[in-house]
Amino acid sequence: MENFPPSRQSKLVTVQRHLMEEQSLHQGATGQFTSLMWDLILAFKIISREVNKAGLVEILGLTGEENVHGEQVKKLDAYAQDRMFKAMDHGGHLCVMGSEEEEEIIPIPPEFPKGAYVLLYDPLDGSSNIDFNISIGTIFSVYKRVSITPTGDGTLEDCTQIGLHQVAAGYCIYGSSTMLVYTTGRGVHGFTLDPSVGEFLLSHENIRIPSAGKVYSINEGNALSWAPGTKAFMHHLKETDAATRRPYSLRYVGSLIADVHRTLLQGGIFLYPEDTRDPDHPRSKLRLMYEANPMAFLTEQAGGIATTGTQRILQVKPDGLHYKVPLVLGSPYEVQLYQKFIKDHSPVATPH
Ligand code: P6P
């Protein structure tokens, strides 16, 4: 605690105070980023309020529209997208946004000033679970702009940087409680919303993922689509693992935020590998820019590993805003073991 101001030692720390203290640790910080995060936090509070009463207000169900991925758009999806845009479009911190719900990049309206940052987000990830009261959430990823344009507008280049260039990432999970988990590259910190005062209070300071776990998280229904290395790894986990003398348990929510949140706190491994049934055209589901990259930044900052199986997620170069990748993340023990299985079962692997 010696490198944090005395206030942090009282533990009653709001996320706003945490951000101010983080800002004081960054030489030359202008406050633009802190102000951007405050706007984001307001959006999370508003979305949380609607999500937590969705069953009571007629905003469950479908809008009848489809998003860029051909997925049915749920009313709460559309509401969350609208809230995020309206909270973030006028603060003067952003030059452009990218959303899971919009095919193209989202310009800042001409009447508002442009800033130095770029925001990528999934306004309501896991929304297929909305009607079943399963945890869902908002995922966000922040970059500094790399483009220079006469109007100040950001570009697609700004929105398709590699994950290593993220300046912040996190999620807000709307579950049994509403929690904000974020990193700015100085560890991972969790804040739980106290609805009675409307404040996110520090509840999980410096989250560290266990070096090994007891849980694996994967959609077993896709087993026939897995590559040989993934099949061998999953079989291994179901036997008694020699190093741990116990089989693993399966926990799979089908909501990325919920599965990653549990993995960060409990350890183990989360996998969404590619579908290899057409070996010439392997297919992935999770999107790099607003799902895999932010989760990878958080995982690495918490002491874990995040990979495609053969490449560090944060080094993957996207070919577009909605580029999809296989995602495997979690405790170093399990993820390194997975990487070994993939290597040993790859077509180019040479027999020992
Ligand atoms: P499946 C939700 O739709 C999502 O994008 C992620 O939140 C989640 O990890 C994944 O899809 C679940 O996919 O194919 O297992 O239902």
Predicted confidence (pLDDT) per residue in 334-350, tens digit: 999 999 999 999 876 55
Cα angle for residues 204, 208, 210 (degrees, 5° grid): 125
- Closest atom of ligand 1 relative to the 254 alpha carbon: 12
Ligand 1, residues 219, 256, 284: which to mutate, most atoms within 8 A of Cβ? 256
- Provide the CB-side half-sphere exposure for 100 (13 A, CA): 30
Q: How far, CA to CA in Å, does 154 sit from each of 109, 193, 203, 276?
A: 11, 33, 35, 36
Show the DSSP H helices in the chain as ranges.
6-9, 15-25, 32-51, 75-88, 156-159, 228-238, 256-266, 293-301, 332-344
pTM (predicted TM-score): 0.91
Q: How far apart are CA 89 and CA 62, in angstroms?
A: 26
Question: What's residue 65's pLDDT?
Answer: 73
Question: What's residue 9's pLDDT?
Answer: 45
Q: How far, CA to CA in Å, does 75 sit from each of 92, 145, 177, 194, 327?
A: 28, 32, 22, 26, 28
Ligand 1, residues 139, 255, 291: which to mutate, most atoms within 8 A of Cβ? 255
Mean pLDDT by runs of 10 across the 352 residues of the chain is: 47 88 78 92 93 65 72 80 94 96 96 96 89 91 94 96 98 95 96 94 96 96 97 90 75 97 98 95 97 98 98 97 98 97 82 54
How are beta strands 269-272 and 215-217 bridged, if at all? Answer: parallel
Residue bearing the CA closest to ligand 1, atom 12: 254
- Condensed to tens digits (0 to 9), the pLDDT of residues 60-101 reads 666 767 777 777 666 888 889 999 999 999 999 999 999 999
